[in-house]
Amino acid sequence: MAGDALVVIDVQNDFCPGGTLAVDGGNEIVPIINKLIIRFDHVILTQDWHSAGHSSFASSHPGKAPFDTAKMPYGDQTLWPDHCIQGTPGADFHADLQWTKAELIIRKGFRPHIDSYSAFFENDRKTPTGLAGYLRERGITNVTFVGLATDYCVAYSALDAVAHGFAADVLLDACRAIDMGGSLAAMVANMRKAGVTLI
Ligand code: VGL
Ligand code: ZN
């Protein structure tokens, strides 16, 4: 329908098997997402797009290892392996993703000192990406989220969509999770409580 958009979150090589922050089964969702892309009137992609030496990388924090936590001015930040560096093959969309129909690509995480999980806000929860204004101006009221990873970028995006007054669906079959320390169960519960429709 005209008021519906599919938002495909971070289906990039570094989040798929063989990538530096590979999500188990990340590649398995690509054929499912390709079928959805055909069905939706509006398709939007997000692309994790970090500067080299980004502050969310463990390698930028001496003595820290990937998956440790660091204190940032905006709160606790999980530290990741270097991933999705601007212009590198790891930041490219998965080669089989049929993404040419996409009307918008939202890049996030490009500010060196702040990470961004959500397609709407950076991790300070204040700096907007512009997506909410874009959707409103286009008359889009219902947003369906798929992609990687369920418990990080997909969940934060769906929660922010609801907070902005959009109806938000997450198609769990078309997502895969990092699932660290119970993060998947916690974020599924958060999404349910916030009114995200989990399908
Ligand atoms: C993501 C961790 C770091 C994601 C991005 O796409 O879920 N997770 N950067
Ligand atoms: Zn990232």
- The 10s digit of each residue's pLDDT in 150-177 is 999 999 999 999 999 999 999 999 999 9
Asked whether 152 lines ligand 1 (CB < 6 A), one says yes
Q: Catalytic positions, please?
A: 10, 108, 153
Cis omega (within 30 of 0) on the bond before 149? yes
- The 10s digit of each residue's pLDDT in 73-128 is 999 999 999 999 999 999 999 999 999 999 999 999 999 999 999 999 999 989 99
Atom 4 in ligand 1: residue holding the nearest Cα: 153
* Domains of the chain in sequence order: 4-51+81-198 (3.40.50.850)
Cα 84 to averaged position of ligand 1 atoms, centre (Å):
9
Tokens of 174: 């078309």
What contacts 77, CB < 8 A, 6 or more positions away? 55, 56, 69, 70, 71, 115, 123
Cα 155 to averaged position of ligand 1 atoms, centre (Å):
11
Choose the residue to mutate in 7, 13, 21, 69 for probing ligand 1, maximizing ligand atoms within 8 Å of C-beta: 21
pLDDT at 72: 93
Tell which atom from ligand 1 comes closest to the C-alpha of 9. Answer: 6
Give me the interface pTM, i.e. the ipTM.
0.96
Tell which atom from ligand 1 comes closest to the C-alpha of 152. Answer: 7
Query: How does residue 2 score in pLDDT terms, banded at 50, 70 and 90?
Result: confident
Percent of the chain with pLDDT over 90: 98
